[in-house]
Structure 1
Amino acid sequence: MRSVITLLMVAVAVLVQATIVNRLPFDWGSGPDLVLAAVVAVALTTSPAAAAGCGFAAGLAMDVMPPAEHPMGRYALVLCVAAYLVALLRANTGLGGSAGGRISRWSALGVVVAGSLIVGLGYAFIGLVMGDAHVTVGSVAANVGIGTLATTLVAPLVTLPVLGVRWMLTGEDFATIQGPISVGGW
């Protein structure tokens, strides 16, 4: 159930990003990255392998949806690596905190900021390696800075609800459900 609801939430983020946010004419350049904000929430509540899979699937969906203007797989690779690193950081550093392994809301928003910087710089680096003529120091600084700020501003509307739903649907809740027990078993 948790996986299905997570899939639906990330799919909604992908659809809203591709159909609404990416089509808005922002005067300042790049807009917020709703997909990144949703994937970070998933990465903070799952294993590194599952986070990487979620990041790859969401990134690939964004790569194939119009108006994608970059080579297919570029965003999928960056989002996959970023989600993996976030989940690995949480698993190996105890970032989850003491309240049942839950990260604080402020820490989650901080991870969104760091993830947005990593994704923006990684995306630019891959573009530079692939010979993208649009990748210059000025454009990277402006797009990464503005994109990170915009993503940070919308993160409470995306990351926190996804985290809340995933926390409500933890695997332990379903493992403790028991029926009436008698001497002979069920």
Structure 2
Amino acid sequence: MGSNLSAAASTNVRTLREHPPSSYSLKIHNFSQFEKSTTSSDHKYKSRIFSSGGYNWYGSCTRLVRLIIYPQGNGKDNGSGYISMYVEIESESLMVLTPPTEVFAEIRFFVYNKKENKYLTIQDIEVKRFNALKTVWGGWGAGGGGLQQIIPCDTFSNPENGYIFEGGQCEFGVDVIVSLPLNYQLGSPLLY
């Protein structure tokens, strides 16, 4: 009769788009080798640091960021059997101001589909908060946004679906759009 309001609503939007990510893209020439290379690192890959919004990100204004990919899924975060993706901000880039800052960012993850010649885009519609205590965003518990389950591994690995192409090539990406801090001004009513 009515809807079940106790069910958690997904804040993820999945779309296909033609243009590639603008913050960071990782093109892999052999996914099988990529997968094997992660066995010694907790089955995850951490990209080089890239810059975003003034912050350094691992994985876009300028913050240092990094993209983290679990090619077999992050089993610690309910991602087994799925490609899992996260972003991590370099904590040192949060310390440039005193007191340490918080960064708010919109995150979009991408997986290229050659068959469609488009990017599967997964965006959480909620702006995410990064700070010294929360440098990684993706899943990891309540409010994680489900990005621990980007795409099932068997769907991704089947060349007929277009995510793996030309002998094992694939492409992942992320856009990190940093919201500029709000400038507050204290005021008082005008006195006449």
Q: Same fold (TM over 0.5)?
A: no
Structure that is richer in helix per residue: 1
- Normalised to the residue count of structure 1, the TM-score between the two structures is 0.29
Q: Name the TM-score, length of structure 2 as normaliser.
A: 0.29
